Structure 1
Amino acid sequence: MQLWSDIAAIFSAFASQDSWEIRNALESNAAWVLGTAAAAIGGLLVMIVYRLVPLLDRHLERTIMVWSYLAIAFIIFWGVIDRFVFKNQQPWSTTIPPLLFMIMAWFGAAFNVRLRTHLSFSEFRTVMPRWAQMGCLALDAVLWFGFAVIVFVTTTRLTALSASNFQIVLGTDSVLQWWFLITAPLSFVLMIARVFENLADDIGNFRSGAPLIKQAVIGGDV
């Protein structure tokens, strides 16, 4: 009964749109149960969108990565010019780039899960029997899903904590940190979608007799 009560409290807190209430509600263990369900449902919905819109499937994370990188490069470049040419420095020029790098890294991690460039061990798996290869791929899916859920819940809590304390990005007057932090749980929902995509492909390949283990290429295409 306590679990259902805590879950109801989380729904009520989000409905109120009060960051303090959300923060307090997410402190219960029900956040893990609801977070797992929300992450799984979100991942399935994103996977469906990817299947319906191949353009997003191929370019969503990469577009976010590229624009984040360009923004970082521009801020740092202009910061150097501003400091040594105009003898001035914007106070946020050293605090915004790390946050943009965080966005680039998390969305990049999600995309590379799809490419299987994270610890794929393809050299070892190619010599395994077919059933063992499928077992390893299924284990990959379980581990990635578990990892993504942990980060999804913890970063959601961190985002709520930041929002409830009205934490401002250093060097700015009104830019809130949670505007950047919320991209972490969102990116891990995308990662779960990529995990589901890979698992669906693996099951299809296993049933059809197609090769299960393929060489991963960093920067490749989906």
Structure 2
Amino acid sequence: MLQAQRNQYNEVNTKVQKLKDMVSELNRLHANNEPMFVHYKLDTRARIEHFFAQSWVETWAGQLRLAESISKENANKNYNKYGNRPNTDDGYNFRGRGLLHITGRGSIEQGRNEGYTGFNQRVTNPLYGDLQNRDFVNNANDRDSLANNGLEALLAGVYVWKTLISRETRTHLYDIANAQDSISPTPTGVANIPNLSNNLRLISQRINGGNNGLSNRQDSLNHIRTQRIFDEFE
């Protein structure tokens, strides 16, 4: 019993430290004295609310599970896309990690949209501090650190946030978050979601590739707003 309590205590401490590391990075000043949260497009209340509403669901309802729980067999079978090479273990090796579960060899290596470098090249830029000598393409330990290290989990999430573009509107997710919102009809095949945010629907469909968990994502956004967690942002 005592050992179980110690394990739980250590697990909570680990999660708290990861969160502290994320907050420190967001508040860190760039060379031009601009806070990093501005550079990461988390500089308005709407943007940060949507970002963390998605993060809450992606990491298993706030449990901060920063790596996708999936077997090697299922990952290799189901993730035969996202730039993964056929007949390899890329599906499993590049399974979702980080706050928004960056997924696929293509995201890490080449980038998911025209004009955007892959995460590996982007994050090893000196702007991000001490990650210049990391190799998230070829080094399994480096990839695992996207789930084990709070700073790197945040950077993986920010990469998704800054580079993905809605297939419906062809605009960046952070611009969708800032746009005037409206009530969206619930997508076909999904149980009715009262007052579904159209902005949330667009962001969710791009991050998750469909409507899976859409109701949970709306609930998460509602909770953040009801609790006024980010009201200090304008």
TM-score bin, normalised by smaller chain: under 0.3
**Larger RCO (alpha carbons 8 Å, 6+ apart):** 1
Which structure has the larger Rg?
1
What's the TM-score once normalised by structure 2's chain length?
0.26
What's the TM-score once normalised by structure 1's chain length?
0.27
